[in-house]
Structure 1
């Protein structure tokens, strides 16, 4: 963007024309905006087009705005600029900062937010506009931002003190520049982008200095403490807690005149900062900082080059260092084991906000809206003192609200929470100032949102210390922004002990190192130390970096500090990695005290369980966690279900089931679930990612599609697969594949040919993995001697015995499970309870455990399918057909979980709950014929073209269904795979299966549509509605079958096998049966209308969120029909921009 400053005379002319103008809004608004564009050298809005998709920058941009009652209003945005802003114009004619003028502005903001939520999909492909602008013609311009572009809460920009631009402020070059950027480069106004760059530069300088000092032989901890004091001193001078540039000038003076004096001069300064008093060096009185940061001062002598690095770091503007990422980068800079990660990606601030906002800030802002509305009611009644009391009471409550991060790291989540609570506090104090003509601001009395409210648990001592520093820097930054100064009571820093360095999950009396049989401490890789591989040049684990494994005495559940809100991002450790990452002793202690948690859950679920306990005890109102995206899988889902069971009034408020994330520990890209649980039962929002756009630094700009309603433990709206019951009819005929646990069991084709004549023919079997099914078959073979005794094996086939002895046994001896060491020639999981189901059948069915496309194939029944597959002992092709249909695939996507972004087939949830259709002989024959043709076409074409894969074929099939153009490579796959033939066969199969269920009405809406084998995130509304209906019908059919089975009527899939022995011996976690649902009892009658005005507004707001109401229908909900109080409450909701009145229908509805 080119630099531009409007001439002072031009600004004067603009002010002369417009300042104080009292004409009508309709007559003046567009003229005012054109003049403003001319003044700031901005393009003028374009003429409107009949095709609204062409109206990227226009006045009166049409939008159909949806209401909660299902109706739509035809509205017009006063001025719209795509990807930049929604602008609403007013001409209040009111005095600036008066209550009536502020109410008009608030109502305009709410209206603009509603327009943004209602923008059509084509307008938000790259995200929603980052700005709302309100123009009070002749008075002022107000700016609000939301840089995540997801349409969340828009907050005053740049902060509550400076978001109002009065017309005379247009003389200021920085204001002109801000408005021009808002028009032309709005994302450049995102302070986190500039701050991130500054923070990276500073961290790099600090890392260079730390490395230099460690090279000089100084202890790592001493270096870290020294540099933390230095950087806080740099910050203090930039926010004028110390005289401006005083530390930087001191460093320059020492470097130029006497470098040897450095430790003495700095020690003297820090001692003065600790105690307060007169500084000889700075020749000024210094405030008392205290707080523990400047205790035990022991500065390190620096040479000239090292002092220069400090000077370079001090030159940065520390007012704009970004605390949300500073902690992570500082931790990496100061820890030699972490330093290699300094250039790695960090968790972007926008990602953190996506959890903090719905969990913490939105509830607080809802409360603030109710308080503002109550104040408006009281002001209309002439009760100014009571209005002030309501607002002051909310401010007091805000300053006592505690937020806990039980895995806080370097406090990036806590800082973002602090910042947004400081923003909210600024608005509250602004209101108090309006009510008291500036006399009622309470900051001088010490009542303020500060670090004591932000509590953390962190096991890493260095990270815990950095967390405290981050919170203080963040707090002081915001205090400075809101007040333009830092006139704080002393001591400036206080040792609140709000960050505790301890384990978040267990407490214990003592621990001792675990010893091996030689009496030496058992150690594991510390999970941090890395080295450069001599082979690849890449970083690999450094096995010399070891951590001791401990045994814990009297372990018990840890107690968490009381907090109204819990947020956090616990460690990403999968269930299978907990033992190797933390040691046997820790895992034993953990599972010993959390006996109610399934053993096979990821580490994060223990944090979930603790947060749930705190909510059940009434300590916590809401919690939000980042979890692995396996949350919907059976074991983790059991923990979620338990939360909703023991907290009967709680509900999932917000969830993004599959979100890109950057692991702050190592910068790795992962997929996670963001989830927020509230202690009140209410509809929630499931946000699905429709579009991801890489932004660099590992971050993605995402576009979300939101769906509202009751969120189930499966993280979906509506039907809950957890209500489905496992059916006896489907029992004992499915199993996860064999887990070989030994590479020596696997033979290549050449090895098989070499040994097949000397080994028993029956022990060499075809080997299939999930990859062999979905990609190109590798044609490997497996040795299967699971039904052999070791003595028989030695006698019958010594050669085979030696093969296993030398290739399997050494590997098994390293395994921790005693049974695998003792029975080393037998598979780790031999599936002995499933093997009988394969006897007497020639073919079986298999699918990959995780795969992009859910496809099923026929295989020989003697095949060894490994643990990346699921096997089905169903010989009839009609079952292959039903499983391959979009009816079953949709159910499996609905009921199963995901691994990364690939659907996972959980046989308990996806197969054992699935109600097969009751097929006539003709229907069964038709489905069998189509299934066999599909299987034959695929296998035949793969035999002709060995590089052809099922994934490739179904990728092309999906493109054909969506109408996308094929690339040259895809055209080749289309020809080689006969994909159009495959498409036709699948469509015919889907129709036949729908007909077998008697649901041909849904076939017309779904057959041939994309998403038949893989999740389709951006599906048309008609298709989504039909799929929801299909799932509801399947769930109802499941309930019918379960009811039949309770009466002894079982529709066995293989009665010849199952009915003979129908007891299932392999135990899986089964979904709970559907609970009986009853209508809420009405015997208690109507509720009383609350006495407190904020509570009145809350119940009215919640009622309007459900549907539109007349004044009378709202009053009818309560005893004694309080028409007057309801009318007053509704007027207050309108005043604060929460509700609107439709004179045509005489109804009220939310904005």
Structure 2
């Protein structure tokens, strides 16, 4: 079925099942119709089973089970909650998901589900059992027309196959690691450049041989194993050297008197065995056993995924080297988040439309044109690492080509293509740039393995043998620094179709001197001078700049994985403004922040975005992906919002007429002026005269979690009073000594005033805003404090702020603005005075509206006061938020919206994205007005 057909079928299905659904009478009909009409399942009775028995302490029945894709279904009646616990026959209380999990635990291991789906006819809750404890994905029946694709796992066996490939590939990586370590011990000095390079090449060659014998590439299964088995450890080194020489020699050029065990090996070509000067150490019994048993006899290398294995293979490198280079390895699922919207979805749809053509002659013509189109595309990954983007793209394009070949063959045994091979797509369509020489070799090897695997799939279609060896194609992966190389020397831009990849993640504060120089040499204006903000942007930005410049005058489209920091806070203007103004780029699609887990042995938990961008005309609607869903929009700005292309820059003073926000007080005291709560009582017992000088101290953690901490606030104390308190004097002396020892000149200067914090901001009344707050909270907790409390520099404070200011700042409108433009610490909100507060466009309410807003603000404080024993963390947890507080915030939100003119029916009222878009328009207007005033 085409996408259009599936979408139409999903629309009809949703309409037919609207407001109906009884658990006992309708469940089976519901699922049969869904699978057959929307997902094209034909032999439905063999595909899904209903009411399978499962034996607990009594006999229960599984509502639905799909064995091929390992899906268990727990169905409830319409309007039944999918999250509330239901009383079971044994008296226990279980949610539908917990009920299904209990059934799962009683099944044989091989039958346990990968997916559990709970449904009440109106919603589908999808639980991925590979991510235990994770929140379910939720699909609403009414949105099925747009989101049917998210249920594709119901019918795609690839999900379970992928899991198997992943397990095998990671196990293969473990074997390589053992072999690598055992060989390294045999080098005289494994730390020399020649030894390390030789060791890497040696491991790559062994992997290729192990794969080639299991995949039948060498001709006979077990050839490599059987050859090595003839030699003991003492003679194995010489045997391996001779084998490598043979693999790199054409049959006609070989010694005619070679032993049969060597002459039987084919010529490989491709340069993999060309360097005969590599350093190969003596072998040990441990190495021999690893090669013959663990790596060969006990393992099948033909089952590895070259995409995953390439990344895992590279994990044999020193982990410190990997971290300093900023490399992280992408899962296949995340690779497809890049390549699917970049090109693969369009190619799939184009092929499906061709397959639906009823006139055979026309269809064959279109199929051949489409295959030629596939063979003419070119891809570049300018940070290719172990080649997983290139490898997965090659596999995906070859699978499309295999569909074409199958269609053209029409099920006939005899093959009717011109030429010796039906395959036109080649790995020489793939280009890469990679700074690490080992990764370059791994990437080429992974592509060769992928080529072999896809050739086998083609052989099964055409029923003829195709020669894989000698290698006749080669991926053009260049070793070098992508930010220093001219990409046109790698691939002419007029031949290139797509740029993609995941360039290194290195924050600007963590960059080496060389990396900083790279960025400063890339991010330059038309006069060749670095932009002022170039020193404060992430390393990945260099790839965005080079890609934008490279795409000029072409139809090339680009998509990169990046840390989310380049779409947040002050980096947005620094990274993106030059790209928009210099190169006129536009964002075609984007995945908003998601946690990216890799397949590497040291898993990288990084909060990422994916940005697809180009300079060529883009007539298609643009897509924003978030939490597994996408929305078609007219424009995507650099904050990855459906909003105008505005850049919120650092501003020292508020854009509107509101009080100045300042940072709290930095102690800079070595901890000596701070009194921890466990020491508080004893300190005052021994030094009672100090009580007037002890004040509550709050950072963001203390404020939000109501944790008690104290400090000595000695502003204005007389010397005679200070000398009467020996314990206080002792702490002041320790503070002085700490500051004097500091390598920082500014801190040493503070030793002249050891009684004081670095800052001494202690207004009579102020609003406190934590600098960092959890993304799980709808509202950043803020509050009023007085001069009996000292705020640290982990908070911002607004002296002389009023109830009106509090109401606006704690409203959903300000929260929406904050979420859009603030920076992040991992995924938590990182509030900023210069970005968030100073650029915020405040409303201009009437006097009546302002009074109403002040009343709703007071209601929020009153609702909090009802729960004096609860911290702000308790009060603002979405699960435990009291109804009185929720209602008070809701009323405040409405009052603030009215002040902005956001009426109930307006888009800004209904959607946070639309609200932010409107705020950005107002921001633009205010900036223009301010600029006009300056010019007058």
TM-score if structure 1 supplies the norm length? 0.59
Are 2:636 and 1:712 aligned?
yes
Paired residues of 2:564 and 2:593 also in contact (CA < 8 A): no
Size of the aligned set, in residue pairs, is: 782
Are 2:734 and 1:734 aligned?
no
Residues 737 and 565 (structure 1), Cα distance of their counterparts in 2 relative to 1, 3 Å cut: farther
Counterpart secondary structure, 2:642: coil
Residues 711 and 803 (structure 1), Cα distance of their counterparts in 2 relative to 1, 3 Å cut: farther
Select which of 487, 500, 508 maps to 2:466: 487
Aligned to 1:209: 179
CA distance in 2, matches of 1:592, 1:801: 48
Paired residues of 1:686 and 1:715 also in contact (CA < 8 A): no
In the TM superposition, what whole-angstrom CA distance separates every residue of 1:823-853 from its partner, at most 9, and x where no partner exists?
Answer: 78799xx999xx9xx7976334423333333
Counterpart secondary structure, 1:151: helix
Are 2:772 and 1:849 aligned?
yes
1:991 positional shift: 4.4
Paired residues of 1:774 and 1:848 also in contact (CA < 8 A): no
Paired residues of 1:333 and 1:339 also in contact (CA < 8 A): no
Are 2:901 and 1:1001 aligned?
no
Aligned to 2:520: 591
Paired residues of 2:233 and 2:285 also in contact (CA < 8 A): yes
CA distance in 2, matches of 1:443, 1:824: 85
Residues 401 and 936 (structure 1), Cα distance of their counterparts in 2 relative to 1, 3 Å cut: same
Paired residues of 2:214 and 2:222 also in contact (CA < 8 A): no
1:903 positional shift: 2.9
Aligned to 1:639: 575
Residues 600 and 1040 (structure 1), Cα distance of their counterparts in 2 relative to 1, 3 Å cut: closer
CA distance in 2, matches of 1:566, 1:574: 22
Select which of 568, 576, 582 maps to 2:509: 576
Aligned to 1:123: 124
Paired residues of 2:699 and 2:794 also in contact (CA < 8 A): yes
1:674 positional shift: 2.2
Counterpart secondary structure, 1:566: strand
Counterpart secondary structure, 1:662: coil
Alignment of 1:616-765 (within 5 A): 616-618=552-554, 620-628=556-564, 631-636=567-572, 638-648=574-584, 650-662=586-598, 664=600, 666-678=602-614, 679-681=616-618, 682-689=620-627, 704-715=628-639, 718-720=642-644, 722=646, 728-730=655-657, 733-737=660-664, 743-744=670-671, 747-749=674-676
Select which of 372, 375, 383 maps to 1:399: 375
1:423 positional shift: 0.9
Are 2:279 and 1:310 aligned?
no
Residues 426 and 780 (structure 1), Cα distance of their counterparts in 2 relative to 1, 3 Å cut: farther
Paired residues of 1:746 and 1:782 also in contact (CA < 8 A): yes
Aligned to 1:266: 240
Paired residues of 2:308 and 2:332 also in contact (CA < 8 A): yes
Alignment of 1:499-648 (within 5 A): 499-506=477-484, 561=491, 562=493, 563-578=496-511, 582=512, 584-594=513-523, 595-596=530-531, 598-618=534-554, 620-628=556-564, 631-636=567-572, 638-648=574-584
CA distance in 2, matches of 1:755, 1:999: 59
Select which of 768, 771, 776 maps to 2:706: 776
Are 2:290 and 1:290 aligned?
no
Select which of 867, 872, 877 maps to 1:950: 872
CA distance in 2, matches of 1:738, 1:557: 49
Are 2:880 and 1:880 aligned?
no
Paired residues of 1:770 and 1:847 also in contact (CA < 8 A): yes
CA distance in 1, matches of 2:40, 2:442: 49
Paired residues of 2:478 and 2:490 also in contact (CA < 8 A): no
Paired residues of 2:667 and 2:758 also in contact (CA < 8 A): no
Are 2:892 and 1:989 aligned?
yes
Aligned CA-pair RMSD: 5.1
Paired residues of 1:846 and 1:859 also in contact (CA < 8 A): no
CA distance in 1, matches of 2:480, 2:271: 19
Aligned to 1:1025: 910
In the TM superposition, what whole-angstrom CA distance separates every residue of 1:1021-1057 from its partner, at most 9, and x where no partner exists?
Answer: x998354565565556556656766776xxxxxxxxx
1:897 positional shift: 4.6
Paired residues of 2:700 and 2:770 also in contact (CA < 8 A): yes
In the TM superposition, what whole-angstrom CA distance separates every residue of 1:624-653 from its partner, at most 9, and x where no partner exists?
Answer: 323335523331355335434545474322
1:917 positional shift: 3.7
Paired residues of 1:458 and 1:499 also in contact (CA < 8 A): yes
Counterpart secondary structure, 2:625: strand
Aligned to 2:449: 473
1:574 positional shift: 2.1
CA distance in 2, matches of 1:336, 1:1031: 42
In the TM superposition, what whole-angstrom CA distance separates every residue of 1:449-484 from its partner, at most 9, and x where no partner exists?
Answer: 233222222222222221221121112221222224
CA distance in 1, matches of 2:477, 2:534: 30
Residues 310 and 917 (structure 1), Cα distance of their counterparts in 2 relative to 1, 3 Å cut: same
In the TM superposition, what whole-angstrom CA distance separates every residue of 1:890-918 from its partner, at most 9, and x where no partner exists?
Answer: 33334435432323334445333434344
Aligned to 1:193: 163
Paired residues of 1:656 and 1:686 also in contact (CA < 8 A): yes
In the TM superposition, what whole-angstrom CA distance separates every residue of 1:928-987 from its partner, at most 9, and x where no partner exists?
Answer: 355346446647855xx4xx42122211xx33xxxxxxxxxx5xxx7xxxx344334334
Aligned to 2:338: 355
Are 2:399 and 1:423 aligned?
yes
Aligned to 2:828: 902
1:275 positional shift: 0.7
Paired residues of 2:433 and 2:478 also in contact (CA < 8 A): yes
Residues 61 and 720 (structure 1), Cα distance of their counterparts in 2 relative to 1, 3 Å cut: farther
Residues 329 and 662 (structure 1), Cα distance of their counterparts in 2 relative to 1, 3 Å cut: closer
CA distance in 1, matches of 2:601, 2:669: 32
Alignment of 1:1092-1103 (within 5 A): none
Residues 63 and 638 (structure 1), Cα distance of their counterparts in 2 relative to 1, 3 Å cut: farther
1:232 positional shift: 0.8
Structure with the larger RCO, 1 or 2 (CA within 8 Å, 6+ apart): 1
Where does structure 2 lack aligned partners over 5 or more consecutive residues?
Answer: 1-16, 49-63, 70-116, 130-146, 524-529, 717-727
CA distance in 2, matches of 1:263, 1:122: 63
Counterpart secondary structure, 1:609: helix
Alignment of 1:208-227 (within 5 A): 208-217=178-187, 219=190, 221=196, 222-227=198-203
TM-score if structure 2 supplies the norm length? 0.71
CA distance in 1, matches of 2:674, 2:922: 45
